[in-house]
Amino acid sequence: PPACSVSALGRRSSDSSDSILSHDSVMSLARSISTLAFVVSAVVHLGLVQSAGGLLDSCNAFGFVGVSAEECHAITTSVQRTGGQAEKDMLALAFAAMRGECCQFIGMGAGSVYALLFLSKGTDEAGGQLAER
């Protein structure tokens, strides 16, 4: 029997040039997975993460650790009144980091929507060189 090897794209190279998966089927699968990933990214980053409203009020975004917006406002008021400079700085950093994450998620979600709507699938324009392989 001829010697065979399996490449990263699922093609078997041999003397008879048979293939397990054709290049077109691999590309179709890659396009489907990529599209699904972009859709999930857009929904999560623009929908779920931003729905908390953490960009406009950082206290809204602490619910994922069990701190309601009201509790967050009470903590903030307490730290402003009785906390030292280190506590105030730590609180300011937590709020800045939360808003920064919200902005980052907006960028990732917007990039996903852009890729879905404006980039040609399976081409170099879509960010890869799979079409050439």
Summarize pLDDT for 70-129 with one digit per residue, the tens: 999 999 999 999 999 999 999 999 999 888 888 898 999 999 898 888 887 665 555 544
Strands 12-13 and 5-6, how do they pair?
Answer: antiparallel
Q: How many beta carbons lie within 10 A of that of residue 129, not counting itself?
A: 9
Residue type (1 letter), 43: V
Mean of the pLDDT values across residues 12-34?
Answer: 70
Judged by average pLDDT, the poorest of 4-18, 43-57, 94-108 is 4-18
Q: Kindly calculate the radius of gyration of the chain based on its CA atoms and give it in whole angstroms.
A: 24
What local confidence, expressed as pLDDT, does residue 15 receive?
45
Q: What is the separation of C-alpha 100 from the centre of its chain, rounded to a whole number of angstroms?
A: 15
